Chain A
């Protein structure tokens, strides 16, 4: 299901300090813009909308009805709730870039807007535009903590309308902006009466008004994290031992975010449209359309097809009901670095199936954290899923600088490889570095330590960002960006500052060593060059005698004009040793080798 959310903006209540009169609104809009951009990448099917309230202007023309704003005075629907399109984003961008131009739009109303109307407007938007959606979110950004201080009836009707939203499953997340003219923001005056939370709600941060200049980044990150509804991957049982079963839910916390796949597009019409591919299956011999029910699956074996009934197909994959069954415990160090096959899943206790799950879960968690142990379990995550062996690794809660949780407390399921998954190590001659070189490298490593460890938030996926940056530029008719920002590139300037000297020392040491190393590859090429440059006088035999390994053979063959007579393996090894492409057929390899040697 999709997760729509609405960003509501307070249209310029109160006095803003600073030169631009509407700086808080602008910040909120910038925030909305940032969230919009990132969600197009991360959740391309999410709907979003923006509604100003408290503006002098009124506009309420949601596609689902409501007309031109009858009954919704001082509500201005800037962006109707939908999957954002280029035009909407362009419009939003226009306001941010040139707020003066839109001064009339951002002009505050003289009278207090009715919050009941605002909330009902939201209600209508959600019911008509996002019917039957699982998750609906409303972010209210405001600096008015008590909109109806004098009008009890209006306040009460706001409270009723807020409960309507609760009944519709709309979750309200207010963002309070500190208003110096009012001396603080007191959520108990109004907002605590319209916001609903369940007792186990863990997403709620203690709401403090953002003081002074609003920190845009903080707002964006907060909305970003709140706008993803927590969706469980599976509901399962965790068996600590025979007879001790608790409920858990599994979540996917790490998943490679990929580019949305490309579509075929029909561009001959008015607007570009996505083309849908329809696949029908035809019988190979008769070319007749085959009904799905007629299709039987078979395994290929010994040149023929081995058939099973659907029941047998099911039975052979069945290893019992879903369960995460702990078979014992090991020290955490037993889960070696290389024992990994896919992203870990996170599990957290779930009381709905088994009352008392959380306390058992917590007790196990405390023990495994304290003794640095892991559980080893037989895991069938879902019905008919392939059984796996997992390590149950406890995670300790970590909070960011702003007190917001970064790593949740619970367990990660680390999927361990089977013997079938382990590959042989490639053959490789052992060359051990001498202590002098290691010492120099150690100095480098010491200098470039990142004491906080690996922090994913510091690194954006450069290829993903670039892809969407280009799409955005095309969609919004912007100038093409010249240079991608790539946070994954090493910061060479800094590295040079901290460890430049050590790096160079290591490099010198390496060169010194290299001169004494038997490097057939390097020597041959040097010899080759001299032959080529000098042209004559270098006795061939001598060169040959100096060389060792495959280098000489290839060289000799080249001189004799018989590169093509060498085996593919020899050609590959030779190319590989020079860091060259080793793919292709023999003809290609020969050509490549000759190309290199011919200069």
Chain B
């Protein structure tokens, strides 16, 4: 849980803020509010009841504050008392945040700060809060610094962070000086700055004084949610007798959680059913009381009552047990499967800490990781983790990451990249899959030129794209648009801030330097994009050849010369027969004939299908036919077959209602071949859709 926080925004609403700066094209107040709204919306988006906001306006037309009767507190209004800020507050506030129409009246800035400090003191009392006062002004009103020390003293005593941001205030560090500044404003800037700096005396850094432009510029930078470290495992005595330590595990890296949209005002109702052929619709409703828990073992259902369930759970005791040590250079970095956690000694246990420290240092010195079995709670499944030492000037810990068990590894095999082996087992050194020496040289040059370790112009660190610099684009984008929509309900969504897409392309400076190499590399590589429409068609009429290289076709004709070439496609072996038929002909008429025969097979399969028993086969056959006819460039034949089949199904001539078969065809996306897939037909997407669903 984050700390409680109270923030009071103090906003200058003097008439001078209606001034429109020619370069910005909006009033100074709107300019200032860009910042304020973003800050308020950011607070609102946390949805926390303990992050509260109050708003004070000064140089307002009216007076409405607790000190209203006292002298010097005129024209200051509490626009929103401190509370969790909700949409209603926001709408109310929007209405009142307009520049005053009356000129040159009271409303002292320092008095307004006083009101804000008073609000905070009353609200927070002595409780633990982060206290903030945030003031925006154009510096053209009254700033009476008499008695200022008292306010400063109070701010320091309460530990309130005071931030003052001014419209077009001078800021040498940021590099902004306003030309032709009004002398009154210049004087005010000085007075305010002195007051803010006063807050920084006495060892506390409480005051910030700056120009608004810089603050608004900083808005583009994503705000990080501060997360307090969280202890994951209750530190537990390890059972490993010798290497013993009381430890505590804490997340080091944990994936952020995206805000998820929720369905509006919905409740779920659940019903339970089992398959039952006797019941209507094949399903029978079950009461919750009639059910037990169970697992599948293959096809067999193994019921396990709630009381028995414990026996399927492996009994474990919490602890971290070291299995052995792994040299760093032998560890495959890609084994790491999880987020990383930090392990430190338990609080108030110096013995554990010193024991752990000796392990950390030994690992560090021997360049090793430890392999350990980790059980976080009683009877929780053990995992294997690798422990890496981390040593800093004032910090030591182990970092753990989970590694795979044998069950977690999928053994897919891939051909080597440095040689090509033919079917016959010959090894080739030159092949179109292998790079030329020229390519190798250019790739090497390109990689060297695109070195990110010194590519960060003007940053603190020379390394480009470090973890600290990269922000989750989706997370901050969603937060940004939700905030935006809350403040601007009727406007279209703004573009994503630049920082979120900064790393979607290489840095310009590197690219420039490597442009020449890249050009040469592109030429040498000669990569050609394949037109998807032409893709499959090329390989047509290739005869499949077994490993031995035997010409099966020749064998068949020679072995059985008498066999009628146009043997009918059999219903027991339709797919191979069909493929074979297509292979041995060039004739359109034969292709059409094959289609007709297949249609007969399909009809037969559906007709004699017990319920849906044969529907899978029907779909498989249709899929093969669809692919083959596209490949043979005769998609019309397929479309004709499918039309015939649909007619037969719809008419009910295939032994009753077979619409479920059509559903299956639909589900498998086996509709008409469209223009997009083959130029030889005229069917467009709309027509195909209509055919499939009509």
Contacts and interface: CB of A to CB of B under 8 A. Distances in A.
B589 interface: no
A20 interface: no
Given A297-B263, A317-B474, A343 B298 contact: no
Interface stretch (B169-177, B186-194, B388-396): B388-396
B252 A241 contact: no
A430 B482 CA distance: 43
A257 B406 CA distance: 9
What 4 A-B pairs have minimum CB-CB distances, sorted nearest first?
A453-B330, A131-B616, A265-B294, A577-B348
A518 B348 CA distance: 10
Interface in B117-142: none
Interface string B399-435: 1010111111111111111100011010000001111
A172 to B, nearest CB: 10
A19 interface: no
A188 B268 contact: no
21 contacts: A156-B555, A241-B521, A243-B522, A295-B263, A301-B44, A302-B89, A315-B493, A338-B340, A344-B336, A356-B525, A359-B434, A362-B433, A418-B470, A418-B472, A420-B471, A445-B325, A449-B326, A456-B335, A466-B314, A475-B298, A510-B351
A482 B77 CA distance: 77
B250 A425 contact: yes
A75 B504 CA distance: 61
A522 B346 CA distance: 13
A420 B290 contact: no
A565 to B, nearest CB: 19
Contacts of A340: 253, 336-340, 401
Nearest to A249: B414
B70 interface: no
Interface centre among B342, B382, B432, B527 (most CB of A within 10 A): B527
A464 interface: yes
A365 B414 CA distance: 14
A163 B552 contact: yes
Interface string B555-595: 11001100000000000110110011000000000000000
Contacts of A193: 546-548, 550
Interface string B342-370: 10111111110111011111110110111
Given A342-B338, A475-B302, A263 B296 contact: yes
B57 to A, nearest CB: 20
Interface string B135-169: 00000000000000000000000000000000000
Interface stretch (A6-14, A101-109, A435-443, A534-542): A435-443
B433 to A, nearest CB: 4
A313 B415 CA distance: 42
Contact of A325 (B235, B261, B505, B546): B505
Contacts of B394: 430
Contact of A327 (B403, B408, B496, B503): B503
A582 interface: yes
B207 interface: no
A265 B303 contact: yes
A25 interface: no
Contacts of A441: 358-359, 361-362
Contact of A265 (B262, B291, B528): B291
A44 B274 contact: no
B545 A196 contact: yes
- Interface footprint category on A: 35 or more
Interface string B515-553: 000100110011111101001000000001111101010
Contact of B417 (A120, A242, A290, A409): A409
B467 A433 contact: no
Nearest to A474: B302
B556 A156 contact: yes
A94 interface: no
Contacts of B623: 132
B246 A319 contact: no
A367 interface: yes
Interface centre among A123, A421, A550 (most CB of B within 10 A): A421
B468 interface: yes
A359 B439 contact: yes
B208 interface: no
A438 B361 contact: yes
Contacts, number: 748
A127 B303 CA distance: 33
B327 interface: yes
B482 A328 contact: no
Interface string A467-502: 110111011000010001010111100000000000
A355 B439 contact: no
A275 interface: yes
B542 to A, nearest CB: 11
Contacts of B248: 426, 576
B518 A243 contact: yes
A86 B242 contact: no
B408 A256 contact: yes
B270 A433 contact: no
Nearest to A378: B504
Nearest to B407: A257
B659 interface: no
A412 to B, nearest CB: 4
A408 to B, nearest CB: 4
A329 to B, nearest CB: 5
Contacts of A448: 322, 324-325
A58 to B, nearest CB: 19
B250 A423 contact: yes
B293 interface: yes
Interface stretch (A110-118, A140-148, A209-217, A303-311): A303-311
A397 B530 contact: no
Contacts of B357: 431-433, 437-438
B607 interface: no
A368 B436 CA distance: 16
B433 A358 contact: yes
Contacts of A62: none
Interface string A75-91: 00000001111111100
Contacts of A466: 312-314
B104 interface: no
Interface centre among B267, B316, B386, B455 (most CB of A within 10 A): B267
Contacts of B425: 206
B565 to A, nearest CB: 14
Contacts of A82: 299
B45 A301 contact: yes
Given A276-B272, A456-B404, A577-B347, A442 B366 contact: yes
Contact of A316 (B254, B355, B406, B493): B493
Interface in A532-576: 549-551, 573-574, 576
Contacts of B13: none
A421 B253 contact: yes
A424 interface: yes
A339 B340 CA distance: 7
Contacts of A430: 394-396
A223 to B, nearest CB: 11
A230 interface: yes
B86 interface: yes
Interface in A320-343: 320, 325-332, 334-335, 337-343
A252 interface: yes
A199 to B, nearest CB: 6
B382 A462 contact: yes
A342 to B, nearest CB: 7
A357 to B, nearest CB: 6
Contacts of A412: 333-334
A293 interface: no
Nearest to A195: B547
A361 interface: yes
Nearest to A428: B344
Nearest to A513: B354
B506 A241 contact: yes
B458 interface: no
A100 interface: no
